[in-house]
């Protein structure tokens, strides 16, 4: 018999949608939330497809949930992300619907505002109510009663008469609707960029554009114009920011411009508020969301614009669960939703630059800082000639500049991308080094916490009095600098200055970090000592000096992205100096001032840096010229992991010839036209949480079906047993 059958995708780690018969009385459509029997329990899921067929052995859908359905474009996006990352579709779905399933959304809250009608009868209480609402204010009934010091009955009376009207409160209970205000008068290159982008939004077709310009050049003002045109044409917009850049400063700026708070989506938003936001987005009541990467999975109804600000930022890569890169997936979502996509950055990724140069993406540039303000004066301090005394990290010249900055009442920032006090602790008597018991990593001393900490697994132990190897007392020595140590030195040099240490391991998480960053902007301290967190998208109006304590640290690791990352981070952090009234100064302490990255930074010649770095990638056969994937094979026993890694290589070589994924024969040179397998080799951090890890790198020509190849290899190899795990990382960020 031909019955209606629903294929229901359930948010668990399975790839297939299970089939259920649809009961006669239940109207369901694709995208609906339903409850189905699963084994002995019930599960919630989404109707992925509807079809007709024989349903004799199928169980019935039990109920439909009162939640807005997932639109077609979002469902296709979930399929796409799953295929791309080789993750089960159910896992990707989970990212999209965990919120509405976990915390049932409360009904929309109503706010009260003035309507046109005049009250038939005026009383003092009524007068206070009308006064409290002023012009255009929307308040929740309870808040209004409090503000007007009257009983809620007074308000209800005015509503019944039509003097007051109710409306759905979008997010904040006291959101003020002041209407859209105009942005500043744009300068010619800003205006040209804005016109191009607003036209793209209006055309409602898929486009991707790189919006490049130094910090302060007005990128935000320009993309706000694009947001405005999405709103004017009745569409919705998403602005993605790295979590740490999602500050109240940014939200206030948005609110001032658009007269309405955007939906907020990041880790500090609690489950109930998230649920409310999710529903409001699905019902089109929230029109703009400002959020961290996971906001990409929100159920927008009519997405016309996606902005990825700071597109180069590594925070866009999710490493756990479903490993995806939100910038790349934003482009995919834009394609499926026919949206304009804007990638904004002062220091774009090589990938995006190459896409722009090869014409796949548009490219708009803003040339100067707004109002002709100049970039900070950059100079290097050669540590070979003018370094600090041994065991110290602040050179005399940097200290001098800090003294002058303090005297002017301005702020200094010391940047060092190393958390804790010292990266290595050893015993001076016997040479014993403190290593993490679970990882191949040294323990990092954190003096504020009086502990040794592993930065990979979080293992923590007290700093011992005596060396565990030789028993020697008081001989433990800190080697190398961490920000706590630099802070100690700064406090010694400037005992009267207010110093503040900022790094991601402060208790209180991102929310606390954002508060601290805002305090810095308000002038709460004189000297900030921070890791890369301080480099990201904040306005520090009082900051006029940036000192890079050790520019060479991140150049030294063996990762081919090291140059790009160092260039980006140093350019961003030095760009923090002198953003507003003053010209800033940046001093870069380095052992190798002639290094191409440092030289490009000092000369400000970003073009040359990009050209050289791009050429290196081309010659090395690295992304974006070739595609890359990493397979991490891990197990408690090293031998088990290694054996399986070898089995995967064998399976790859034994695969029948297939033109879509031809294996390169012989030495894998840069021009090999097939897929190249590298490894297995111990992963860069060989042991994490007591699991031994081996890595296989797979390089493929751009046109090759890399995912298809990996799927075939995994299927051909023996299935992993016991505690053995294989995880796939497409476009790994370190390689
Ligand atoms: P970016 O996003 O490139 O860092 P912003 O858009 O934040 O730059 O601009 C930096 C500052 O300059 C902001 O305070 C912004 O309001 C201001 N600004 C930018 N362009 C103009 C303009 N044309 N007129 C007035 N102020 C502007
Ligand atoms: Zn560890």
CATH 3.40.1440.60 corresponds to the domain 3-102: yes
What is the pLDDT, as a whole number, of residue 458? 80
Q: How far is the CA of 422 from the centre of ligand 1 (A)?
A: 39
Residue 546 CA to residue 362 CA, distance in Å, equals 33
Per-residue pLDDT at 267 exceeds 50? yes
Q: State the binding site for Zn(2+).
A: 427, 430, 436, 439, 454, 457, 467, 470
Task: Give me the mean pLDDT over the 591-600 stretch.
Answer: 89
* Better pLDDT: 81 or 579: 81
312 lines ligand 1 (CB under 6 A): no
Query: Is any atom of ligand 1 closer than 6 Å to the C-beta of 220?
Result: yes
Q: ipTM score of the complex?
A: 0.97
**pLDDT 10s digits, 11-47:** 999 999 999 999 988 889 999 999 999 989 999 999 9
Which residues neighbour 156 within 8 Å (Cβ) at sequence distance 6 or greater? none
Alpha-carbon span 78 to 557, nearest angstrom: 35
- The Å distance, Cα 460 to ligand 2 centre, comes to 8
* DSSP-based three-state secondary structure for 367: coil
Separation of CA 310 and ligand 1 centre (Å)? 15
Expressed in angstroms and rounded, the spacing between residue 435 Cα and the centre of ligand 2 is 8
Strand, helix or coil for residue 578: coil
Is residue 683 within 8 Å of 694, Cβ to Cβ? yes
The pLDDT assigned to 632 comes to 93
Q: From ligand 2's centre to the CA of 455, what distance in Å?
A: 7
**418 CA to centre of ligand 2 in angstroms:** 16
For domain 377-421+481-618, give its CATH number from 3.40.50.150, 3.40.50.300, 1.10.3720.10, 3.60.15.10: 3.40.50.300
Average pLDDT over residues 292-320: 94
Pocket test for ligand 1, best of 182, 185, 216 (most atoms within 8 A of CB): 216
- Domain 188-366: CATH superfamily is P-loop containing nucleotide triphosphate hydrolases (3.40.50.300)
**Per-domain residue ranges of the chain:** 3-102, 110-168, 188-366, 377-421+481-618, 424-479, 626-730
Q: Give buried/exposed letters for 62-72 (b at 16+ CB in 10 A, else e).
A: eebeebbbbbe
Q: Is the distance from the beta carbon of residue 575 to the nearest atom of ligand 1 less than 6 Å?
A: no
CA of 241 to the centre of ligand 2 (A): 30
Ligand of minimum distance to the alpha carbon of 437:
2
Give me the pLDDT at residue 440, please.
Answer: 77
pLDDT, position 372 = 55
Is the CB of 88 inside a 6 Å radius of any atom of ligand 1? no
Starting from the CA of residue 222, give the closest ligand. Answer: 1
CB 207 within 8 A of CB 340: yes
| Range scoring the smallest mean pLDDT among 147-161, 204-218, 640-654 | 147-161
Is residue 45 lining ligand 1, measured as CB closer than 6 Å? no
Distance from residue 438's CA to the centre of ligand 2 (Å): 5
Q: Which atom of ligand 1 is nearest to the CA of 221?
A: 6
The residue whose CA has the least distance to atom 6 of ligand 1 is 218
| Structure letter (DSSP) for residue 440 | S
Find the ligand nearest to 309 CA: 1
Average pLDDT score over the chain: 87
Q: Residue with the nearest Cα to atom 26 of ligand 1?
A: 184
Band (pLDDT 50/70/90 cuts) for residue 581 is: low
Instruction: Count Cβ atoms below 10 Å from residue 44 Cβ, excluding itself.
Output: 18
SS3 state of residue 435: strand
pLDDT score of 170:
59
- Give alpha helix (H) positions in 505-637: 509-521, 553-556, 562-574, 596-603, 606-620
Q: Is the CB of 484 under 6 A from ligand 1?
A: no
**Residue 483 pLDDT > 70, yes or no?**
yes
- Going by alpha carbons, the residue nearest to atom 25 of ligand 1 is 184
In this chain, the answer to whether the domains covering 188-366 and 377-421+481-618 adopt an identical fold is: yes
> Looking at ligand 1, which atom is closest to the CA of residue 186?
23
| pLDDT grade for 193, boundaries at 50, 70 and 90 | very high
Q: Does domain 626-730 have CATH number 3.20.20.10?
A: no
Q: Which ligand sits closest to the CA of 342?
A: 1
Residues 6 or more apart whose CB falls under 8 angstroms from that of 139 comprise 111, 112, 113, 132, 133, 147, 173, 174
Residue 552 is predicted with a pLDDT of: 83
Residues near ligand 2 ion, CB 5 Å cutoff: 436, 438-439, 454, 456-457, 459
pLDDT digits (tens, 9 = 90+) for 38-62: 989 999 999 999 999 988 889 999 9
Q: Is the pLDDT of residue 173 over 80?
A: no
CA distance 279 to 269: 15
| pLDDT given for residue 512 in this prediction | 78
Cite the annotated binding site by residue number: 427, 430, 436, 439, 454, 457, 467, 470
């Amino acid at each position: 018999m031909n019955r209606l059958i629903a294929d229901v995708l359930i948010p668990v780690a399975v790839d297939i949608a299970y089939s259920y018969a649809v009961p006669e009385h239940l109207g369901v459509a694709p995208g609906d939330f339903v409850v189905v029997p699963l084994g002995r329990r019930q599960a919630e899921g989404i109707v992925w497809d509807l079809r007709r067929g024989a349903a004799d052995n199928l169980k019935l859908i039990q109920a439909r949930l009162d939640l807005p359905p997932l639109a077609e474009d979002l469902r296709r996006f979930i399929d796409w992300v799953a295929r791309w990352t080789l993750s089960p579709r159910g896992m990707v779905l989970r990212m999209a619907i965990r919120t509405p399933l976990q915390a049932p959304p409360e009904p929309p809250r109503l706010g009260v505002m003035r309507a046109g009608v005049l009250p038939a009868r005026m009383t003092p209480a009524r007068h206070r109510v009308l006064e409290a609402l002023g012009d255009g204010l929307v308040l929740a009934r309870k808040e209004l009663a409090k503000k007007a010091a009257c009983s809620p009955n007074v308000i209800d009376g005015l509503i019944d008469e039509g003097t007051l009207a109710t409306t759905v409160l979008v997010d904040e209970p006291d959101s003020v609707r002041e209407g859209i205000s105009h942005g500043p008068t744009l300068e010619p290159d800003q205006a040209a960029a804005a016109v191009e982008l607003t036209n793209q939004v209006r055309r409602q077709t898929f486009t991707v554009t790189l919006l490049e310009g130094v910090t302060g050049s007005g990128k935000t003002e320009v993309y706000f114009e694009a947001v405005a045109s999405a709103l004017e044409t009745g569409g919705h917009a998403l602005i993605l920011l790295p979590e740490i850049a999602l500050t109240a400063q940014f939200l206030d700026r948005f609110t001032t411009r658009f007269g309405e708070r955007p939906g907020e989506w990041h880790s500090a938003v609690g489950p109930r508020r998230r649920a409310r936001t999710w529903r409001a987005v699905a019902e089109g009541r929230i029109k703009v969301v400002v959020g961290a990467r996971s906001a990409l999975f929100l159920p927008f109804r009519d997405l016309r614009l996606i902005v990825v600000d700071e597109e180069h930022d590594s925070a866009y890569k999710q490493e756990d669960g479903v490993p995806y890169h939100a910038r790349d997936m934003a482009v995919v979502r834009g394609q499926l939703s026919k949206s304009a996509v804007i990638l904004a950055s002062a220091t774009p990724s090589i990938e995006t630059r190459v896409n722009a140069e090869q014409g796949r993406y548009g490219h708009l540039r803003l040339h100067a800082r707004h109002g002709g303000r100049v970039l900070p004066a950059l100079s290097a301090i050669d540590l070979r000639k003018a370094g600090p005394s041994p065991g110290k990290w602040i050179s005399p010249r940097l200290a001098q500049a800090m003294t002058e900055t303090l005297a002017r009442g301005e702020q200094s920032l010391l940047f060092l991308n190393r958390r804790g006090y010292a990266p290595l602790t050893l015993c001076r008597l016997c040479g014993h080094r403190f290593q993490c018991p679970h990882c191949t990593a040294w323990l990092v001393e954190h003096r504020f916490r009086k502990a040794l900490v592993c930065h990979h697994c979080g293992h923590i132990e007290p700093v011992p009095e005596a060396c565990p190897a030789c028993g020697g007392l008081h001989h433990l020595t800190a080697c190398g600098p961490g920000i706590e140590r630099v802070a100690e030195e700064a406090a010694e040099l400037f005992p009267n200055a207010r110093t503040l240490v900022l790094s991601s391991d402060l208790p209180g998480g991102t929310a606390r970090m954002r508060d601290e960053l805002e305090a810095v902007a308000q002038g709460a301290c004189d000297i900030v000592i921070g890791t890369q967190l301080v480099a990201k998208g904040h306005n520090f109006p009082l900051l006029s000096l940036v000192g890079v304590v050790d520019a060479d640290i991140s150049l030294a690791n063996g990762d081919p992205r090291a140059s790009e990352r160092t260039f980006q981070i140093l350019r961003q952090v030095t760009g923090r100096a002198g953003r507003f009234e003053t010209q800033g100064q940046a001093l870069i302490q380095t052992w190798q001032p002639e290094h191409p990255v440092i030289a490009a930074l000092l000369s400000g010649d970003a073009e040359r840096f990009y050209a050289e770095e791009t050429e290196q990638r081309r010659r090395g056969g690295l992304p974006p010229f070739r595609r890359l994937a990493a397979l991490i094979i891990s197990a408690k026993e090293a031998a088990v992991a290694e054996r399986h890694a070898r089995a995967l290589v064998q399976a790859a070589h034994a695969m029948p010839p297939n033109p879509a994924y031809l294996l390169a024969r012989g030495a894998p040179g840069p021009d090999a036209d097939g897929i190249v397998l590298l490894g297995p080799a111990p992963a860069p951090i060989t042991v994490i949480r007591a699991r031994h890890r081996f890595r296989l790198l797979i390089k493929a020509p751009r046109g090759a079906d890399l995912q298809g190849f990996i799927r075939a290899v995994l299927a051909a190899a023996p299935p992993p047993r016991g505690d053995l795990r294989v995880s796939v990382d497409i476009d790994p960020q370190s390689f």
